[in-house]
Copies of this chain bind each other. A is one copy, B any other.
Amino acid sequence: MADLFEQYLAKEAGMGEEMLKQIRSKAIGRRLRRNEQLLMPGEICRHKVFVLKGLLRTYSVSDGGNETILQFSPEMNWTLDAESYDQQIPSRYYISAVENSEVLLWHKNDFDRLLADFPALKKYAEQLISRNIYSSRQRLQTALGATPEERYEEFVRTNPSLLARLPLRMIAAYLGISLKTLTRIRHAQWAR
Binding site for B on A (CB under 8 A): 60, 62, 66, 68-70, 82-83, 86, 129-130, 132-134, 136-137, 139-141, 143-146, 174-176
Q: Which residues of B contact A133 (CB under 8 A)?
A: 82-83, 129, 132-133, 136
Q: Which residues of B contact A175 (CB under 8 A)?
A: 144
Q: Which residues of B contact A62 (CB under 8 A)?
A: 145-146
Contact B134 A176 (CB under 8 A): no
Copies in the complex: 2
A137-B140 Cα distance, complex, nearest whole Å:
9
A129-B133 Cα distance, complex, nearest whole Å:
9
Interface of A is mostly: helix
A53-B65 Cα distance, complex, nearest whole Å:
43
